[in-house]
Amino acid sequence: MAALLRCIVLWMALLASAQAADYLELTDFQLIDGTGAAARPVKSLLVRDGLIVAIDEAGVRPVAEPDARWTRIGLAGAWVIPGLIDTHVHVSRFPDPRQGERILAAAVRGGITGVRDLAGDARALGELERAIGAGEWPGPSLVYSALFAGPDVFRSGPTAEMATGRTLGEAPWARLIEAKTDLRQAIAEARGAGASNIKIYGDLTPRLAAAIVREARRQGVQTTAHATVFPTRPGDLVEAGIGSLSHAPYLVWEAVDTVPDDYGKRIAGPWDTIAPDHPRLLALYRRMAQRGVFLDATLYVYKAMKDYAPGQMDTSWTDAAFTWGAQATRLARAAGVRVTTGTDWFEPRGDGGLPHTHDELALLVEHAGFTPAQALVAATRDGAAALGLGATQGTLDIGKSADLVVLDADPLADIHNTTRIRLTVKRGVVVAPH
């Protein structure tokens, strides 16, 4: 009996210890909250169990429990911004999650606290999401997608690598869509695989693309599409109710009379003959703003594609696509479109490098006319909203997740200062930089 009582007491002590509150207090810094407001001095930001509970006099400063763990870090005038969000990544095309773990663990050390994977192997992505959520290792919040596309997309290319061991086009996360497809079942199966977003990719008619968006919305699933799905043009997707359009250069196809049905034509856009301020495009930007469609611009991938695999692919078109896409992004933002910082290739090429999300921020400022404050909103508040996480992430306010980056220099003075990372905090857990 005595031994049993000792076991019960020990079990209760362990349970109490496991439930002890964790406090993190950051003091003496300049806060850039992600709303676009100017930086302001803050004496204290208090986090309890991963959530912000007080910022100076705002909120409630609880009396710490006797067994609470309390960490206080003085920042000596540093700058604090919300964690950055990349709305277009690909971290795992294969069922083994180890590659994705390496990429995501490095990302959070580099200031990225949220990502949207736009097509990978859901078996690996689900395991990565579980491990991050369980606190097994620090990583960004992970939203991942099922890819829906027509037959041409599945004939070759990386889609074949996303579902090894499955019949091509029949995996719930890499689905061949035809007129006969039961979309209700297909989207339900994508949800069952853990996807909370449908990526509409290519070789889909306007009618079929609209049907996918309609059914996804009915089932509470978000939608993203390449800005042109061939033969479906951007305006068709906007009217259908798409959530985000990816790749600003592909908006050009809105202004052509006939969109080709060949997905391969995406690299042959008429960027030299159709101006970004063509009347049809100006109307498109206005409609995107009215309908609340996000623009996942991905300027970085066009700027850097020539260095991605020199001599292995045709990159003769990328300079024109980048220049055109940057100007289209500028005009879209001016029309009220919420732009987000997607890269399509965010992992650094070498060990110790920072995620290319920082490069996307700089490109928005230096080539698309954003102020540093506007670029930070794209990478924080609007990125979180695009991922469906706006209620809990994206800005630094009472009740939101303590996802933030401490910088040694002011990013509002120079956007490149987002790379001057002292530390990242993900849901109250301090993560050392590279």
Residue 25, domain CATH? 2.30.40.10
Whether residues 195 and 105 share a domain: the answer is: yes
Point out the residues of the chain with pLDDT beneath 70: 1-18, 156-157, 309, 351
Whether residues 285 and 423 share a domain: the answer is: no
Whether residues 433 and 305 share a domain: the answer is: no
Closest to 206 in 3D by CA, of 144, 282, 150: 150
* Contact indicator for 341, 383 with CB cutoff of 8 Å: yes
User: Would residue 14 count as lying in a domain?
Assistant: no
Whether residues 388 and 401 share a domain: the answer is: no
Whether residues 301 and 425 share a domain: the answer is: no
User: Would residue 2 count as lying in a domain?
Assistant: no
Q: How many domains does the chain have?
A: 2
User: Would residue 10 count as lying in a domain?
Assistant: no
Q: With b meaning 16 or more CB within 10 Å and e meaning fewer, what string describes 151-189? A: ebbbeeeebeebbeeeeebebbbbbbbeeeeebeebbeb
User: Would residue 428 count as lying in a domain?
Assistant: yes
Whether residues 199 and 239 share a domain: the answer is: yes
Whether residues 74 and 94 share a domain: the answer is: no
Whether residues 410 and 381 share a domain: the answer is: no
Residue 433's domain spans which residues? 20-83+395-434
Whether residues 284 and 198 share a domain: the answer is: yes
Whether residues 254 and 400 share a domain: the answer is: no
Q: Tokens in use for 415? A: 């956007």
**pTM of the shown model:** 0.94
- For every residue of 240-260, DSSP letters joined together read HT-SEEE-GGGGGGGGSSS--
Predicted pLDDT at 219: 98
Whether residues 42 and 124 share a domain: the answer is: no
* Contact indicator for 178, 150 with CB cutoff of 8 Å: yes
First to last CA, the chain: 53
* Contact indicator for 234, 253 with CB cutoff of 8 Å: yes
For the CA atoms of the chain, what is the radius of gyration?
23
What distance in Å separates the CA atoms of residue 80 and residue 179, rounded to the nearest whole number?
50
User: Would residue 12 count as lying in a domain?
Assistant: no
Q: What confidence tens digit (pLDDT) does each residue in 204-224 have? A: 999 999 999 999 999 999 999
User: Would residue 171 count as lying in a domain?
Assistant: yes
What distance in Å separates the CA atoms of residue 287 and residue 284, rounded to the nearest whole number?
5
Contacts of 159 (CB under 8 A, 6+ apart): 119, 147, 149, 153, 168, 174
Predicted pLDDT at 312: 77
Predicted pLDDT at 349: 77
Whether residues 52 and 171 share a domain: the answer is: no
User: Would residue 123 count as lying in a domain?
Assistant: yes
Predicted pLDDT at 351: 66
Predicted pLDDT at 36: 97
CATH code for the domain of 93:
3.20.20.140
User: Would residue 5 count as lying in a domain?
Assistant: no
